[in-house]
Each structure stands twice: as C-alpha cells, then as structure tokens.
C-alpha cells in the first residue's frame, strides 16, 4: 500500500511472463479454479468481463487527473496523509519515499464527502459531478444495496461501491475454489460497515525540463518494493505501464496495462487466512519518464477488531496453522511500525510451526 525506500536499481533480471487473464463471465466452477491457481502461482491475476461500468471508471479517472492537475497549494488543502489525505514523495512515518503524489481516501461515504469538501471548498462538485445509478458488479454479489447507489451523486462513491462489489465476488469465488463451506468467510470482512478499506489514487508525474536526465533517472522508482497488507487489491491504471511483480529475488515481471481488465492481487491478510495457500507477492511501480501514470487502487480490508484466522478446512495435520490469530488493528500497527519493504507476516507466524 505504501512505498518502501527506493534502492538503486542493481543488476536485475526482467522476465516477460503473462499474468493469468480470467473471464468472470465463464462457468463459475471453472472461474473459481482458475482464480485459486493464479493466487497460488502468481499472487496476481487480471479479470475481464468484470461488470464494472466503463463510465464509472472513466469518470473516476478523469476527476482524479483533474485533482492532480491543480496547483500544489490547492491539493494540500486535502491535508497531510495522516493516514488519509494528500501526500507527495514523503510517504508514511518511517522515511519511505517515491516519485509519486497520491490521495488516500477512506471508503466510508461520510469520509469521502468530507474529503471532497476539503479538497475543493470553492468547487464542491469535484468528485461529485454525476448522478450514479451504476450498479457495477452488484448483480454478482450481495455486498451493496443497489437502491443506495441511485441516491449517490459521488463519482468516488460510485467507483468504491462498484469495485467493492467486484472484490466481494472474487473473494467468494476464492472460497468456493478452496472448498471452504462458508463462502462469505473472506468477503464479509470487507462488507462490514466499519471495514477499514481504502481507495488510493497514485499519480506519477513525468520528468520536467529541469529534471535530472542522466541514464539512471529513466528508471525511477515510483513505489518501492512491498506487499499489500490488506486482504485484496483491485488496481486500474491509465494505460501507462510501470507495475512489476517479483516471484523470486532479483527477477521482475512487468505487468502490461489493460484497459479492459482489473489487476487483482493477494494481500498479506489473505495469505494468512488461506494458511499460506495464496501468496502475497512483492511488487513495485516504476515512474515513466515521458508520460504521466495514474493508478486507482482499492484495498479491501477488515474492520480494526476483526479476527484474522484460517477457516478449519484449510488447517490439517499435513498443513498445520502457519499464523496465529490476530486482529487487523494489530497487523496494521505492525505495518506502520516498519519500513514497508520489510516483511510483516513473519511476526505473526505460529509458535507451533516455528518450534517444529
């Protein structure tokens, strides 16, 4: 979620591998099996025919660019990111930096309205410019009451409701593919009214005329190497590449942007809940030197006091519990106390496993 301190790009290997692309309109059992396989092998995959309206996506992207095009003093009205708000380069509390400016929003509707007013006191229509009866992916999930969306005029709210519905459906497909009896075991955590989910808008500006133009500057770290601490991330970008994942040390796989797809990745909490079956993979973003890149990331997270533990079907004598039970508040505290390039899940490993 937050950038780690960028290290100089050393001798690294680039490997061109296509991430799995999963068509959500295919037969459900097939889809759930493909998702499980992708989460085990890559921790990342793309989904198409996801049901989120292109209009909702385009309006959210347009208004996000509109925000980042504002003069810096106006963007700063959103306040320092503590944790929500506007930030630039200096990110988090432990010296982590990157070539990025960002806006971090709670997905709580009241919080979005408050932030909208803070961002644009003289233009209260920013992030609130169109009537939303979008529906998104709601037909596939019971996460959202569609009647609420008809009354909602916020682009940010519409986008959040749509991607939350998509995230719930993907999580339920995962539970089915893992043969967990309670298929809502993952999705209900982000469905909760006090879910700590986030929407993060990242803008990576291109080089300016007075920027460093040495060869090393053309491979700038936008987001440093990290894993996402939450359950699941849904990512969209504006068609400019930069995302890379690492399945082994020193080897990076570029992820091509796809205007028809969402990129989905496993977070630390989901790795713990699946007892290590799914992998939360390190990734980073390089800033493009010539074109602005913007990404919109929805981070599905539990409520602070939600207990994180594996369902019984995923704990067996052959595969004992890898992680002790913890709350999201405990995990979040650990995440904020470390550099985001540091490992966090090892702190929560089961003592039984460690003693074996």
| DSSP letters for 244-295 | EEEEETTEEEE----TT-EEEEE-HHHHHHTTTSS---EEEEEEPSSS-EEE
Residue 82 burial (CB count, 10 A): 9
Contacts of 330-336 with CB under 8 Å at 24 or more apart are 331/229, 331/268, 331/269, 332/196, 332/229, 332/304, 335/1, 335/229, 336/92, 336/93
Sign of CA dihedral 23, 29, 33, 35: positive
Catalytic: which of 128, 293, 321, 344? Answer: 293
Sign of CA dihedral 34, 282, 105, 255: negative
Taking CA atoms, 208 is separated from 8, 273, 282, in Å, by: 21, 44, 29
Spatial distance between the Cα atoms of 290 and 47, rounded to a whole number of angstroms:
28
- 128 belongs to the catalytic site: no
Q: Which DSSP symbol is given to 63? A: H
Q: Are strands 251-254 and 13-14 parallel, antiparallel or unpaired?
A: parallel
The alpha carbon of residue 51 and the mean position of all alpha carbons in its chain are separated, in whole angstroms, by 18
- The catalytic residue positions are 293
């Amino acid at each position: 979620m937050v950038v780690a301190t960028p290290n100089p790009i050393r001798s690294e290997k680039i490997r061109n591998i296509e991430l799995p692309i999963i068509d959500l309109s295919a037969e459900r059992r097939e889809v759930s099996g493909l998702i499980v396989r992708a989460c085990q092998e890559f921790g990342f995959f793309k989904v198409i025919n996801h049901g989120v309206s292109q209009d909702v996506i385009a309006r959210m992207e347009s208004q996000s660019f509109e925000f980042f095009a504002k003069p810096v003093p106006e963007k700063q009205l959103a306040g320092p990111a503590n944790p929500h708000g506007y930030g630039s380069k200096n990110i988090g509390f432990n010296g982590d930096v990157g070539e990025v400016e960002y806006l971090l929003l709670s997905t709580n509707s009241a919080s979005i309205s408050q932030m909208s007013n803070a961002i644009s006191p003289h233009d209260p229509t920013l992030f609130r410019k169109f009537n939303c009866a979008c529906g998104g992916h709601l037909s596939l999930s019971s996460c959202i009451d569609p009647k609420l969306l008809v009354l909602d005029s916020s682009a940010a709210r519409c986008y959040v409701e749509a991607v939350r519905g998509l995230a719930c459906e993907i999580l339920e497909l995962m539970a089915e593919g893992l043969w967990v009896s309670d298929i809502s075991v993952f999705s209900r955590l982000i469905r909760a009214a006090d879910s700590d989910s986030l929407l993060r808008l990242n803008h990576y500006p291109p080089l300016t005329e007075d920027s460093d133009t040495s060869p090393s500057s053309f491979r700038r770290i936008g987001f440093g190497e990290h894993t996402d601490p939450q359950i699941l991330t849904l990512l969209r970008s504006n068609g400019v590449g930069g995302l890379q994942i690492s399945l082994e040390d020193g080897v990076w796989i570029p992820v091509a942007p796809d205007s028809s797809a969402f990129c989905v990745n496993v977070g630390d909490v989901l790795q713990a809940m699946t007892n290590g079956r799914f992998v939360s993979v390190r990734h980073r973003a390089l800033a493009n030197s010539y074109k602005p890149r913007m990404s919109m990331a929805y981070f599905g997270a539990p409520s602070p006091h939600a207990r994180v533990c594996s369902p019984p079907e995923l704990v067996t004598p052959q595969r004992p519990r890898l992680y002790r039970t913890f709350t999201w508040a405990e995990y979040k505290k650990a995440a904020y106390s470390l550099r985001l390039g540091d490992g966090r899940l090892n702190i929560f490993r089961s003592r039984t496993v460690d003693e074996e």
